[in-house]
Structure 1
Amino acid sequence: MTPFPTRRALITSLLASSFALSGAFVAAPTAGAATTAAPAASCTVTPSPDGTSVTISGEGFTAPRKLNDGESTQDLSVDASGHFLLKRFQKNANYTVLAVKEDQPYVFVNCKVVASDTGTGTANPNNPTPPGNNRGDRNKGRTDGRQAGIAAAAKSCANAPVADKSQSHSNAYWQAWQQAADRAFDNACDR
């Protein structure tokens, strides 16, 4: 009688293994699909060095959008690349970006407060002296963005340029970079 329970245990373990493996194969495409999803929308609030105002910037949004500060709501000017930038004097507020249409992704995104860019180098320990929000930084962003847009178009007109934000730059640099990259890419691809 011992062979029968052993055979049943063997068949049961084989069936359990096949179910476990089939579940792994079904789950694998879902995990791959998550890695190719569109980048998430984000919003940051950066206090000015003197503490009198905040700069609110966002990326990855589709227009139209509204900004809520807990007491009031105002329309946001979102550009074609999904970015917005504005200055507010209400410093101690929790800002949220809201969708206007029901079918928009990222219905609401809470803005994250980041450290003020004082030019002291404390914003990123890997880059000891990040540049400030000045004309030179904006011009550098335009130059770098233009080169990135042309390079992206040379590879393929199907993939727009994406900024590598692992380097520490000011908001002015990144905004100028994105605008110049989009413009150069569109011109090179005859859009």
Structure 2
Amino acid sequence: MYRRTRRAVVTSLLVSSVVCGGAVVLAPAAGAAVPAASCTVTPGPNDTYVTISGEGFTGPRKLNDGESTVDLAIGPDGTFLVKRFQKNVDYTVLAVNEDQNFIFVNCKKVGTAATPKPENPQNTAPAQPGSRRDIAQGRAAGNQAGTAAAAKSCTTKPVADKSGQQHSDAYWQAWTQAANRSFNRACHTN
């Protein structure tokens, strides 16, 4: 739905510029030294908003999110910076005048290592002994242990180290089954 709206906006801009007699300029003329324009969308902390930044633009410009279009404040150096709460949409920077370079530029989504997604505390907290989550954690740990043991040698099966943490019998049973299954699969044994 968003792509259709954006295509309709871009198509109407292109058609109107041709009907009005103007030439559509998608790239700079040969010999001109105009830098390429770019736009990026970066998630904010806790994934509550996105920051949209761009460079290499000439004003005036508009930002389109597939449903609405707003004016952008382009600085004298050709850059802009905007924060928006619509996170799961495709953003496009549109030219306002038909003689501008780069009629439209699709913004590229990028991640950031500075703001890692917070872990779900429900998944990191210890599970109740014997609960489904406790058994699932045992299976996951056993699967990793079996794969790691097989990578070292297919002659030595994985052995649980029960000295470090207190877990229920159900956890250790799930761990053993998953470790053996993972080890056998990796070593191609029955």
The two structures share one fold, judged by TM-score above 0.5: no
TM-score by length of 1: 0.43
Larger radius of gyration: 2
